[in-house]
């Protein structure tokens, strides 16, 4: 009977049995030292345990064994992103996308890297693609809406932010950004005040929402 150590390790990992997961992934590497998957799994485990230096080495080893291992590029990109190495992370997210990593995450994270570098126009198509791939992910849709606002594309931003409030009525950030959108791009002060008040009802200590609310109130007096 062939033992699949990676499956054993993933199950232990999902159950937060980290020592058992580490042993299983180590066994997987020993059984198949030329396969990238064991190194990727061990790298993901080490990343969760904040053992960044070792995780980096495992992901890099996986890439040397399989230079098209999308999940290795993605795991290494996350390490760099979390350490604010946004340019390096962006390159690796692009590699993960190039090698057909499934889902919205790599597109979203690449967009966030570009935002951190203030490359908002370059970030837009990646964030848009992430929103297309994950239409029910309120965080991605919120980020897309905010990015559109940053680029003053208010007409496109409005339905995105409204979609977030429909999915998550308690999302103070979505209400705040809608309030700002209506305040700066329309004459609809009623809608602006409504959404800013919603943000304050959800998060009473939201100082920026209070500041904009007061500005709008002063404008109509």
**What is the average pLDDT across 3-24?**
92
Question: Topology of 135-221 in CATH?
Answer: 1.25.40
Alpha-carbon distance of 160 to 124, in angstroms, equals 13
**What is the average pLDDT across 103-110?**
98
What are 174-196's pLDDT values in tens digits?
999 999 999 999 999 999 999 99
Output the pTM of the full model. 0.92
**Chain centre to alpha carbon of residue 31:** 34
Nearest Cα residue to 113 out of 82, 144, 142, 136: 82
- Given a cut of 60, whether residue 7 has pLDDT beyond it is yes
Q: What is the model's pLDDT at position 2?
A: 60
**What is the average pLDDT across 26-45?**
95
Q: What is the model's pLDDT at position 80?
A: 98
Look up residue 137 and give its DSSP letter. -
Q: Which long-range contacts (CB under 8 A, 24 or more apart) does 200-203 make?
A: 202/170, 202/171, 202/172, 202/175, 203/172
Domain ranges across the chain? 135-221
- Given a cut of 60, whether residue 1 has pLDDT beyond it is no
Q: What angle do CA 124, 127, 132 make, to 5 degrees?
A: 120
């Amino acid at each position: 009977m062939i033992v699949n150590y990676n499956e054993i390790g993933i199950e232990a990992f999902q159950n937060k049995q980290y020592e058992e997961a580490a042993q299983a992934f180590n066994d997987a590497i020993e059984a198949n030292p030329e396969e990238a998957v064991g190194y990727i799994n061990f790298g993901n485990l080490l990343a969760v345990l904040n053992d960044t230096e070792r995780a980096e080495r495992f992901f890099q080893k996986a890439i040397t064994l399989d230079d098209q291992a999308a999940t290795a590029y993605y795991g290494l990109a996350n390490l760099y992103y979390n350490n604010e190495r946004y340019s390096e992370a962006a390159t690796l997210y692009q590699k993960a996308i190039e090698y057909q990593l499934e889902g919205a995450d790599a597109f979203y994270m690449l967009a966030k890297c570009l935002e951190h570098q203030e490359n908002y126009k370059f970030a837009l198509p990646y964030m848009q693609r992430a929103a297309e791939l994950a239409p029910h992910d309120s965080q991605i849709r919120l980020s897309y809406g905010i990015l559109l606002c940053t680029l003053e594309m208010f007409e496109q931003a409005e339905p995105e932010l409204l979609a977030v409030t429909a999915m998550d009525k308690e999302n103070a950030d979505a209400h705040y950004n809608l309030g700002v959108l209506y305040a700066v791009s329309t004459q609809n002060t009623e809608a602006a005040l409504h959404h800013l008040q919603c943000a304050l009802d959800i998060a009473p200590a939201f100082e920026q929402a209070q500041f904009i609310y007061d500005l709008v109130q002063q404008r109509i007096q």
